[in-house]
Amino acid sequence: MPSICRKMPVMAREQESPKGLKAAAGRSWRLSGAVVFVLALLGHFYFWYMPRARPALPGQDLPARLLNHPDLPLAVWMPFPHQNLGALEAFGLSTGTLQAALRLAALPSPALPRFGHLRVPPSRSLAVATERRGERFVVAADVYPAAGAFFRLAGRLAGNPWLAGGSLLTDEGRLSVQWHGNVWSVSSQGDVGFTDGGTFPPSFAHRDPGLASSPGRKPVLVAEARWTRDPLPEGRYYLFVDDQGVELISDAATDRPPSTSEAMVRARALLLAVSAADGPLGDGGQALALIGQASDQIAELPRGAVIHRPGVDRWSLPAEGLLSMAGRKPSVGSGAGLEVIATDSTGLTQGQSLALEVAALLRSRAAESALVFGLWVELSPASLEVGRIRRGLERAPLWSREQVTRWREADRFLAGMATPWQRMVLVVREEPSSLWLLVE
């Protein structure tokens, strides 16, 4: 027995032959290879398909030429839209929020046609160009080659012109769906020529270095506006997003917007709009402040103040018509050389505390890069107050449908932006004409 016991370890060592070790090593390598393959597949899926911000500048892609469409002066280009659209939603910029902002700015907001069951096709870039009224438009997407081949085949087998190409009649009218290589396009009227020397001028990739005010940064969206409504300037716009905030900057912008946060906090102002130049918004030299209230009752009238230079045809106070119908007169005062009119005595006090800040902003009119228009918003409290006002307007039969619609759009926009962010600033300047929108 002892001799047998002493031989057992020897027999075990003899079983660990080179052939057995080689087989074990092979199994280990196959397992490692499988793990590496799965990780690479997940990494590929995340990098190319999962929602995330992927900034880029327009290059030689055909959709980028829509930024220069001769007949469609409003255009937007986005790289990797199936990823960036999802990322923008995480930053508060859902499609509904963006469309509400366009409607508030009185700009067309055409609905983006779906790509089969997908919101947008998996593509390197996508562009939308439209005319002033939004009735004529073109959508183009540079679809990934494998995805494009799959969708075209699926469309032919299913007889689906959205995927295979063709003409179809929709609620928006007759649309033309076409493929130009890997580029899928939808147009409201006729063919879209993408070839060199065709409808569109050459790509501008070699002359678009980005913003001088943001060297080295790349946007998640580029827009071209060769027609706008005052006070919005014409030009090229860039949208930047990161964990610090959202910025929409026109190519001529150089100066960051001034902050009014401290003055607005002291005055309990939720929103401050300042017009320094005459235009469609009325006479320049005035400001409107929406002031927070302790009450959240829908029947409570909004509190506000208008601060203006003497002799200016001033803006109306929020719900000033209802104030008059209730037999209440606005409170009148002055501050910093400006006249102040408010919905009540509390609003007057708060408006007077803002007068010095407004006077400083209006004085910048004489400086270089003069202020044309400015908007400062404390997003969360403003969203609550605008939502309260909107519900009150919907219950009252005294307001026109247009007024109610604008408050609804404002409510939709502020509600979308207020979840991730605290404040928004929009400043329009002249000489050169520029816009800088900052959300943080």
Position 40 confidence tier, pLDDT thresholds 50, 70, 90: low
Domain containing residue 235:
62-246
Backbone angles phi, psi at 78, to 5 degrees: -135, 130
Note whether residue 3 is domain-resident.
no
Structural domain ending residue among the three candidates 223, 246, 269: 246
* Average pLDDT of the segment spanning 348-356: 94
Report the 10 Å Cβ neighbour count for 368. Answer: 10
* Average pLDDT of the segment spanning 177-186: 88
pLDDT attached to residue 295: 63
Identify any residues that bridge with 79 across adjacent strands, giving them in sequence order. Answer: 125
Note whether residue 17 is domain-resident.
no
Do 304 and 368 fall within a single domain? yes
Note whether residue 305 is domain-resident.
yes
Q: Is 255's pLDDT higher than 90?
A: no
Position 26 confidence tier, pLDDT thresholds 50, 70, 90: low
Q: Are 423 and 416 in contact (CB under 8 A)?
A: no
Q: Are 414 and 94 in contact (CB under 8 A)?
A: no
Structural domain ending residue among the three candidates 246, 275, 299: 246
CA distance 289 to 304: 5
Position 14 confidence tier, pLDDT thresholds 50, 70, 90: very low
Q: Could you tell me which residues come within 8 angstroms of residue 273 by beta carbon, excluding any fewer than 6 positions away?
A: 287, 288, 289, 373, 374, 375, 376
Do 378 and 279 fall within a single domain? yes
Note whether residue 47 is domain-resident.
no
pLDDT attached to residue 208: 52
Q: Are 439 and 417 in contact (CB under 8 A)?
A: yes
CA distance 83 to 88: 9
Do 279 and 352 fall within a single domain? yes
Sign of the Cα pseudo-torsion (83, 84, 85, 89, in order): positive
Q: Could you tell me which residues come within 8 angstroms of residue 43 by beta carbon, excluding any fewer than 6 positions away?
A: none
Q: Is 8's pLDDT higher than 70?
A: no
Q: Are 288 and 308 in contact (CB under 8 A)?
A: no
pLDDT attached to residue 37: 59
Note whether residue 42 is domain-resident.
no
pLDDT attached to residue 274: 94
Q: Are 223 and 76 in contact (CB under 8 A)?
A: yes
Structural domain ending residue among the three candidates 246, 279, 294: 246
Do 98 and 206 fall within a single domain? yes
Do 341 and 205 fall within a single domain? no
Q: What is the pTM of this model?
A: 0.83
Do 176 and 146 fall within a single domain? yes
pLDDT attached to residue 190: 58
Structure tokens at 249: 């900057």
How far, CA to CA in Å, does 178 sit from each of 73, 140, 237, 306, 348? 22, 9, 28, 53, 60
In this predicted model, which residue has the larger pLDDT, 402 or 357?
357
pLDDT attached to residue 142: 93
Do 125 and 268 fall within a single domain? no
Helix/strand/coil for 184: strand
pLDDT digits (tens, 9 = 90+) for 184-233: 988 886 555 554 434 454 444 444 555 655 666 789 999 999 888 888 89
Q: Is 22's pLDDT higher than 70?
A: no
pLDDT digits (tens, 9 = 90+) for 381-430: 999 988 888 887 777 766 778 878 888 898 999 998 998 899 999 999 98
Share of the chain above pLDDT 90, in %: 27
Q: Is 4's pLDDT higher than 50?
A: no
Position 350 confidence tier, pLDDT thresholds 50, 70, 90: very high
* Average pLDDT of the segment spanning 132-158: 87
How far, CA to CA in Å, does 72 sit from each of 46, 250, 365? 35, 19, 33
Q: Are 248 and 81 in contact (CB under 8 A)?
A: no
Helix/strand/coil for 218: coil
pLDDT attached to residue 232: 87
Q: Are 305 and 351 in contact (CB under 8 A)?
A: yes
Contacts 24+ apart (CB under 8 A), 352-355: 353/263, 353/266, 353/267, 354/263, 354/264, 354/267, 354/269, 354/272, 354/287, 354/289, 354/305, 354/307, 355/307
* Average pLDDT of the segment spanning 303-316: 92
Do 265 and 411 fall within a single domain? yes
Q: Could you tell me which residues come within 8 angstroms of residue 123 by beta carbon, excluding any fewer than 6 positions away?
A: 80, 81, 82, 141, 142, 143, 144, 147, 184
pLDDT attached to residue 165: 86
pLDDT digits (tens, 9 = 90+) for 238-250: 999 988 899 999 9
* Average pLDDT of the segment spanning 336-341: 94
Do 205 and 317 fall within a single domain? no
pLDDT attached to residue 239: 93
Note whether residue 132 is domain-resident.
yes
pLDDT attached to residue 16: 55
Q: Which of 100-114, 116-130, 235-249, 323-337 is modeled with the greatest confidence?
A: 235-249
pLDDT attached to residue 203: 43
Note whether residue 381 is domain-resident.
yes
Specify the number of domains making up the chain.
Answer: 2
The helix (H) or strand (E) run that includes residue 125 is strand 123-130
The whole-chain average pLDDT of the chain stands at 81
CA atoms within a 13 Å half-sphere pointing along the CA-CB vector of 40: 6
Q: Is 164's pLDDT higher than 60?
A: yes
Position 352 confidence tier, pLDDT thresholds 50, 70, 90: very high
* Average pLDDT of the segment spanning 47-63: 80
Do 181 and 319 fall within a single domain? no
- The end-to-end CA distance of the chain, in Å, is 83
Note whether residue 106 is domain-resident.
yes
Do 103 and 236 fall within a single domain? yes
The helix (H) or strand (E) run that includes residue 428 is strand 423-429
Do 235 and 321 fall within a single domain? no
Share of the chain above pLDDT 70, in %: 75
Of 140, 117, 114, 122, which Cα lies nearest the Cα of 47? 122
